[in-house]
């Protein structure tokens, strides 16, 4: 009678191997920081201006740039459009900031994981759709950070 020896499969992560080596995500964090700052300046700036501007100044300064000279809209209709856009940009800015902060917190706790890239991908999508495709350069910064999470090689011994 022969005894069959079972070979143990090599484990991916040996429990005695110690902690995974630390990984720096400096480029990704810089891209996310620049994107967040640009979104704050553009979306937040427009929202702040529209919430503080009076009607005569709106008609003289913002209305020609917002709806054009020959739009056929009176001042009140254009103001409603401007306020609606400001509300939309303000709401999407809040959602974008929440997603970016969640991604940064996830990166700080586990930088060797790829999952924070999903938070930044969602933040880029919110920036792109929330600004109605106007801020595509800002959304590109978030998309580039998410792509770096997906494409950078992981250190040996990390879980994912």
pLDDT tens digits, one per residue of 112-123: 777 888 999 999
Task: Report how far residue 26's alpha carbon sits from residue 32's, in angstroms, rounded to the nearest whole number.
Answer: 10
In a domain, 58, yes or no: yes
pLDDT score recorded for residue 108: 84
pLDDT digits (tens, 9 = 90+) for 15-28: 555 555 566 778 88
Is residue 83 domain-resident? yes
Q: CA separation (Å) from 49 to 12, 39, 43?
A: 55, 15, 10
Q: Is the pLDDT of residue 129 over 70?
A: yes
15 burial (CB, 10 Å; 0-12 / 13-18 / 19+) is exposed
Q: What's the whole-number average pLDDT of the chain?
A: 83
In a domain, 131, yes or no: yes
Across the range 46-69, mean pLDDT stands at 87
Helices (DSSP H) in 25-158: which residue ranges? 26-39, 45-52, 55-57, 63-67, 75-109, 116-130, 136-151
Please report whether residue 158 resides in a domain.
Answer: no
Q: What pTM was estimated for this model as a whole?
A: 0.77
Tokens coding 150: 């997906």
In this structure, of 2-16, 67-81, 88-102, the range with the lowest mean pLDDT score is 2-16
Q: Residue for token digits 């009176």?
A: 74
Is 10 domain-assigned?
A: no
Q: For residue 17, tell me if it sits in a domain.
A: no
pLDDT at 92: 95
**15 in any annotated domain:** no
What per-residue confidence (pLDDT) applies to 157? 53
- Expressed as residue numbers, the domain containing 145 is 34-151
pLDDT on residue 84: 92
Our count of domains for the chain comes to 1
Instruction: Kindly state whether residue 14 falls inside one of the protein's structural domains.
Output: no
């Amino acid at each position: 009678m022969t005894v069959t020896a079972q070979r143990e499969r090599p484990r991916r992560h040996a429990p005695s191997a110690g902690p995974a080596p630390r990984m720096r995500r400096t480029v990704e964090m810089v891209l996310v920081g620049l994107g967040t700052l640009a979104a704050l300046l553009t979306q937040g700036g427009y929202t702040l201006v529209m919430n503080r501007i009076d009607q005569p100044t709106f008609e003289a300064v913002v209305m020609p740039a917002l709806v054009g000279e020959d739009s056929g809209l009176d001042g009140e209709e254009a103001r409603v459009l401007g306020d609606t856009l400001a509300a939309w940009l303000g709401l999407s800015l809040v959602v974008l900031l929440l997603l970016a902060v969640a991604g940064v917190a996830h990166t700080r706790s586990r930088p060797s994981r790829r999952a924070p890239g999903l938070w930044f991908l969602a933040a880029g999508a919110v920036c792109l759709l929330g600004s109605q495709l106007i801020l595509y350069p800002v959304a590109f910064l978030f998309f580039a950070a998410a792509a770096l999470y997906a494409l950078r090689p992981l250190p040996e011994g990390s879980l994912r």
